[in-house]
Amino acid sequence: MNIGICGIGGRMGNAILRISTERGHKLGAAFDADGSPLLNKNAKELVNNPLAECTISAINADDLQKVDGIIDFSAPAASIKLIRILSELKKPVVIGTTGFSDADVAEIRACSEKIPVILSPNMSLGVNLLFKLTEIASMALTTDYDVEIFEAHHRFKKDAPSGTAKRLLEIVKENMKGLSGAADVNGREGITGERTANEIGMHAMRGGNIIGEHTVFYTGLNDRIELTHRAASRDVFAEGAVSAMEFLNKKNPGYYTMYDVLGFK
Nearest partner of 53 among 84, 81, 30, 19, judged by Cα? 30
How many Å apart are CA 187 and CA 224, to the nearest integer?
Answer: 20
Residue 153 appears among annotated catalytic residues: yes
Question: Which letter does DSSP use for residue 188 in this model?
Answer: -
Question: For residues 65 and 87, what is the distance between their CA atoms, to the nearest angstrom?
Answer: 11
How far apart CA 182 and CA 7 sit, in angstroms, is 36
- Given 153, 166, 203, 229, the catalytic residue: 153
Q: Residues 114, 132, 157, 251: which is the catalytic one?
A: 157
Active site residue 154: no
Alpha carbons 128 and 112: distance in angstroms, whole number: 21
Cβ(118)–Cβ(261) under 8 Å?
yes
> What is the distance between the terminal CA atoms of the chain, rounded to a whole angstrom?
26
User: Distance between CA 157 and CA 152 in Å, rounded?
Assistant: 10
Residues with Cβ < 8 Å from 76, sequence gap 6 or more? 97, 99, 100, 101, 104
Rounded Cα gap, residues 120 and 107, in angstroms: 15
Residue 191, exposed/middle/buried by CB under 10 A (0-12, 13-18, 19+)?
Answer: exposed
Residues marked active site are found at 153, 157
